Amino acid sequence: MHREFIAALLLAFLANIPMLVADEGTSPEPVRVAGIVLKWIKADKAANCNRAEALIREAAAGGARIVCTTECFLDGYAITNRDMPLDEYRALGEQVPGGPYYERLAKLADELDIHLCAGMLEADGDRRFNTAAVISPTGELLGKYRKQELGHELVRNTPGDASPVFDTPHGRIGLMICADRRNADLVGRLQANGAELLICPSGGMFGPKSNDPILQARSQETGLPIVFVHPAEFLVTGPGGVIESRELLGDTLEIAPEQVGTERDSSKVYFFDVAPVERDGNAPGGNP
């Protein structure tokens, strides 16, 4: 009887081992992220949206749960056209939410059941922002990030002043846009706000000489993976600063309308299964 009692206790203990292990907490599961590497057509929102939609659908079909475009994919980063009259430039702004192309993208995210990070020129009253909107799998706006390091864009755009982090089932996502990656303090704020994965839609410098070491340094400093999406590059850096994936696609960022479908018009969906870095549950999160 004594041995039977001990055996029963042992069986009960063994049966509860999985529960004890689970209580200790596990790292977030890897999430498949897709980057939409696509050349811009400057100032043609209809063409850019049509072209991106086909690739976003391909990304969802490939199992991506988070899909990210480049910086200002919708307007084709029109800020670089200094000859464009101001009223024409401002007319390219999209209300977030509420604008027709924003709403089209929101319906697409809902249909495909994905988180969509979409770069666009945002119209907010008289101001224009270089913005990345984060749309949920139900088509709701989780929030938006406004580029803070504007440089030459200051002539027409307003800098953002917040570093929000967005709660998703795949971990807390922090966004930065292009030149923001060069500001270690700015990226550090995203980490301090509870980010577990960083995404950087971009459209400036790219490649192993001028760009990749910057992202590696930010990953090493923050201990976070970073996904970088650019018209000519898809890059993933790991928490230690190692390059997990690097794909280069041509050496141009934009094309003219007549170049659509030519060799110059290279585009592709790139995938990577990223493991967010688990943070303290008490770390601040959400969109302020």
Taken in order of first residue, the domains within the chain and their CATH numbers are 28-274 (3.60.110.10)
DSSP 249-268: --S-SB--GGGTTSTT---E
Handedness of CA 185, 186, 187, 188 (dihedral sign): positive
147 catalytic per annotation? yes
pLDDT at 23 > cutoff 50 = no
Rounded-to-integer distance, Cα 119 and Cα 152, Å: 18
Strand-strand pairing, 115-124 and 66-68: parallel
User: How confident is residue 206, by pLDDT bands cut at 50, 70 and 90?
Assistant: very high
71 catalytic per annotation? yes
> What average pLDDT does the structure give for the chain?
90
Q: How many residues does the chain have?
A: 288
- Residue 170's φ and ψ, nearest 5 degrees, are -100, 10
- Quick one: CA torsion of 74, 80, 83, 87, rounded to 10 degrees? 40
Q: Which residue in 49, 68, 147, 200 is the catalytic one?
A: 147
Q: Which residue in 45, 49, 71, 233 is the catalytic one?
A: 71
Place of tokens 């755009």: 157
Chain centroid to CA 144? 11
Nearest to 179 by CA among 241, 221, 130, 232: 130
pLDDT at 237 > cutoff 90 = yes
Residue 65: helix, strand or coil by DSSP?
coil
Question: For the segment 55-80, what is each residue's pLDDT rounded down to a tens digit?
Answer: 999 999 999 999 999 999 999 999 99
Q: Name the burial class of residue 276, with classes exposed (0-12), middle (13-18) and buried (19+) by CB atoms within 10 angstroms of its CB.
A: buried
pLDDT at 282 > cutoff 50 = no
Give pTM, 2 decimals.
0.88
Tokens matching residue 174: 């922090």
Q: Which residue in 49, 178, 196, 200 is the catalytic one?
A: 178
Rounded-to-integer distance, Cα 251 and Cα 229, Å: 14
